[in-house]
Amino acid sequence: MMHFKIKKQTILILLVVTIFLSFSFKSKFFEVAKQIEIYNTLFKELNMYYVDEINPAELTNTAIKNTLKDLDPYTNFYNEQAVEDAKIRREGEYSGIGTAVYYTKRGIQISEVYKGFSGDKAGLKAGDIIISVDGQSLKNMERDQLSMFLKGAPNSTISVEVERQGSIITKKLTREKVVVNPVPFYEMIDEETGYITLTRFNNKASSEVKKAFRALKKKGMKKLVFDLRYNPGGSLLEAINISNFFVPKGKVIVTTKAKIKKWSNTYKGTNDPLDLEIPIVVLVNGRSASASEIVSGSLQDYDRAVIMGERSFGKGLVQRYRTLTYGTQLKLTISKYYTPSGRCIQELDYTNRDAKTGKVPKFSDNGINAFKTENGRTVFDGGGVTPDVKIKVSKRSEATKKLLQSKAIFNFATDYFYKNPKIENVEDYHFSSKDYSSFVNYLKVDTTFVTDQEKLFKTAYLSAENNSITNEYERIKEKLVANKVREISSNKDIISILIEEEILEKYYYKEGVYKHHLKNDTTISEAVTLLKNEGKYKQILSGK
């Protein structure tokens, strides 16, 4: 009898829980449906009765952006054109003229020319601005419109007007298949040490890394420098495949934890590795993110490689594309990922963003947790992959961050290119102190590098009712320029290298930048030195 009563109580509890969960689900579903209906009716009323004509697409885009803005920055809505651009980034190929571009109010500005493709063969140069295509002016066009002009069917031709250093020239271009190789450069540094740089994790990443690795092995490679600096990430599966090249089949490479059970997975190496013995140094910096951190984190956790450089970016979130209506897409964060030791390297806690200030706290604000690698070394979570060997660089000031977000370095390098028809060969060129002084002087007239203080001061001046303070305004403006120039001087080491690379690219393409790195990059030199010191390399990985 007692047993029957317990059963009855259990069934009653389960029934109550089921009813509660069902009600909770229905309540949540009702709330979503309710809010959608509210928006639909509001939208119809606006469209019908608002005194002026409204743009439905523009209004909806604004509503969507405002809906997503308080989530993490990786959850984004893509219209039809943006879907195509995202597809190009994932697949690494498209039909176009072989250039990277900026979209401006004056037209399409060439930021990089890919060697050997149509734009290069036609003589386009970085800094050129395409102001018309087939007679159609591009002035004041929106980004979505501009992005459609250079892409098109293979072998189709276009006639473009190009503004170059104040002159207008005409070019005829033929669109062709453009393949963006995620491994743009690999080479032997010395008789035993190979170098591979991977710039993105698109769908070709693992196959191109494998191809480069095998080619270098044929040249006698016995040690490897694997460069993931400035690699923003990409495909999770490509990161797993590349990690699997160097760790045994069946080893856990990454684990994802999501709200939806089917998106919570443990990913293991499913293929036979390329090489389990070759000593590896993986290079990372503050721009190495996402898939780059999966590879560097897993190789660190298995003590399979020494990680060298600066702490990585700290993106421990996984995104997935979801197809929406009318050819649009939503890319949303679906899970967090964890390295084999159990670390989540996500730095920013977007869930607990301050509602008033918008400031996003760091997970490390509440302390960091220790984990163990396979050899028992201690590693930590709370933001990025911390290198086993740190390379010291100056801490970027706020002014330097603004500088790097602007086009000032690009514009200076373009100007430098036209003022200097020739420079030293690719390996011997160096951006001198005299050159840096020229850059500082250039910043005094540059209009793209503007600090927050300068913006506020200009706004205040323009809002004044008369021009009686013009002389004072000019004096203070000069002081603000001097202040920002002084502030970036603390990062001369970083800025000089970035300008040097931008200049070399103008003369020798990206290939020239990588060739210059092999001889002059101090981090690569440190990596080679470590690989030659077998005892030191093993000591780091043993944790002793």
pLDDT at position 509 is: 95
Question: pLDDT tens-digit profile of 43-102?
Answer: 888 888 988 888 888 888 888 888 888 899 999 998 887 887 777 777 777 899 999 999
pLDDT at position 3 is: 47
HEC assignment per residue over 529-542: HHHHCHHHHHHHHH
Token code pair at residue 88: 């190009």
**Of 103, 224, 97, residue with least CA distance to 158:** 97
pLDDT at position 26 is: 54
| Relative orientation angle of helices 205-218 and 236-244, to the nearest 10 degrees | 20
pTM of this prediction?
A: 0.89
Token code pair at residue 8: 């009855």
pLDDT at position 6 is: 46
Q: Quick one: pLDDT band at residue 1, thresholds 50, 70, 90? A: very low
Q: Is the pLDDT of residue 21 over 80?
A: no
Q: What angle do CA 231, 237, 239 make, to 5 degrees?
A: 35
The larger pLDDT score, comparing residue 30 to residue 541, is at 541
Q: Quick one: pLDDT band at residue 12, thresholds 50, 70, 90? A: low
For residue 57, how many other CB atoms are within 10 A of its CB?
9
Positive or negative torsion for Cα 179, 183, 184, 186: negative
Question: pLDDT tens-digit profile of 287-324?
Answer: 999 999 999 999 999 999 999 999 999 999 999 999 98
On average, the pLDDT of the chain sits at 90
> Does domain 93-179 correspond to CATH entry 2.30.42.10?
yes
Architecture of domain 185-392: Alpha-Beta Complex (3.90)
Mean pLDDT of 488-497: 94
Q: Quick one: pLDDT band at residue 22, thresholds 50, 70, 90? A: low
Token code pair at residue 368: 């960091």
Q: Are 336 and 257 in contact (CB under 8 A)?
A: yes
For residue 242, how many other CB atoms are within 10 A of its CB?
28
Q: Is the pLDDT of residue 206 over 80?
A: yes
DSSP letters, 286-344, are TT--THHHHHHHHHHHTT-SEEEES------EEEEEEE-GGG-EEEEEEEEEE-TTS--
pLDDT at position 4 is: 44
Cross-strand partners of 182: none
Q: Is the pLDDT of residue 390 over 90?
A: yes
HEC assignment per residue over 90-142: HHCEEEECCEEEEECCCCEEEEEECCCCHHHHCCCCCCCEEEEECCEECCCCC
Q: Is the pLDDT of residue 439 over 90?
A: yes
Positive or negative torsion for Cα 418, 420, 426, 427: negative
Mean pLDDT of 427-448: 93
Number of residues that make up the chain? 544
Give 444's contacts (C-beta < 8 A, 6+ positions apart).
481, 485
**CA gap 253, 273 in Å, rounded:** 13
The larger pLDDT score, comparing residue 43 to residue 284, is at 284
Question: pLDDT tens-digit profile of 318-344?
Answer: 999 999 888 889 999 999 999 999 999
Q: Report the share of the chain in percent with pLDDT over 90.
A: 68
Tell me the three state secondary structure of residue 416: helix
**Of 318, 273, 308, 302, residue with least CA distance to 288:** 308
Q: Is the pLDDT of residue 468 over 70?
A: no
DSSP structure class, residue 204: T
pLDDT at position 431 is: 94
Q: Quick one: pLDDT band at residue 354, thresholds 50, 70, 90? A: confident
Q: Is the pLDDT of residue 5 over 60?
A: no
Positive or negative torsion for Cα 303, 308, 314, 319: negative
Distances (CA, A) of 178 to 161, 195, 205: 22, 25, 16
The HSE-up count of residue 139 (CA atoms within 13 Å, CB side) is: 4
Q: Report the share of the chain in percent with pLDDT over 70.
A: 93
Token code pair at residue 266: 């443990």
Mean pLDDT of 178-203: 96
Domain boundaries, the chain: 14-54, 93-179, 185-392, 398-523
| Relative orientation angle of helices 470-488 and 452-462, to the nearest 10 degrees | 170
Q: Quick one: pLDDT band at residue 405, thresholds 50, 70, 90? A: very high
**CA gap 162, 109 in Å, rounded:** 9
Mean pLDDT of 193-214: 97
Torsion, CA 476, CA 479, CA 480, CA 485, rounded to 10: 160
* Segment among 48-57, 275-284, 398-407 with least mean pLDDT: 48-57
pLDDT at position 2 is: 45
**Identical topology for domains 93-179 and 185-392:** no
pLDDT at position 105 is: 94
Mean pLDDT of 366-370: 89
**Of 134, 73, 83, 128, residue with least CA distance to 102:** 128
* Segment among 27-31, 111-115, 130-134, 502-506 with least mean pLDDT: 27-31
Cross-strand partners of 159: 172
Q: Quick one: pLDDT band at residue 369, thresholds 50, 70, 90? A: very high
Mean pLDDT of 503-511: 96
Q: Quick one: pLDDT band at residue 466, thresholds 50, 70, 90? A: low
Cα 333 to the center of its chain, rounded Å: 16
